[in-house]
Amino acid sequence: MKKITTLLAAIVLVTCTYAQQYTPVAESSTVAFTIKNLGFNVHGSFSGLKGKISFDPAHPEHCSFDMVLDANTVNTDNNMRDNHLRSEDFFDTKNYPQITFVSTRVTKGSKAGTFFMEGNLTIKKISQPISFPFTVTPTTDGYRMEGEFETRRKPFTVGKSSTISDKLTVSLNVLARKV
């Protein structure tokens, strides 16, 4: 009986471990955004990306991403604007310090090294589905993952009555290293 239990445990372990575990390298990763304000592009970024990445390019159906950003790290190279973005009018970082993304599905793209991600972006405890293509390039101890998506700020109640555009583009460049 002990051998059967051990064999079953080994089978379960093997079937559940297709994907390797990775963590984003915050210093080598960027989460940037571009949004129009009065017709001009404003660029900004967040730093300190954290999370868990489970990834196997041969089995994207077993991949998952659970990522967290500190909303206080918003940076547009303008301290006055950044402080306003941290206020209740925008990210309300006092009450909602984190921005999260949790994947719901990963599939292979049509070209080698390309994938498609679906998931939920949560800002101020409001979740919205997003989807986007991304590329994966192997590194010596992990992967470089790059993608871009468009989203809207108003469903998240960010900048309710602001002059900035509702639409923005988010660009991701993540170095993920094996845990």
What is the model's pTM? 0.88
Q: Long-range pairs for 149-157 at CB < 8 Å and ≥24 separation? A: 151/121, 152/128, 153/35, 155/126, 155/128, 156/123, 156/124, 156/126, 156/128, 157/124, 157/126
Q: What is the pLDDT along the chain (179 residues), one digit of tens a residue?
A: 666 545 444 444 444 456 899 999 999 999 999 999 999 999 999 999 999 999 999 999 999 999 999 999 999 999 999 999 999 999 999 999 999 999 999 999 999 999 999 999 999 999 999 999 999 999 999 999 999 999 999 999 999 878 899 999 999 999 999 99
CATH number of 19-178: 2.40.128.110
Domain ranges of the chain: 19-178
- Whole-Å CA distances, 92 to 38, 121, 147, 152, 174: 23, 16, 26, 17, 26
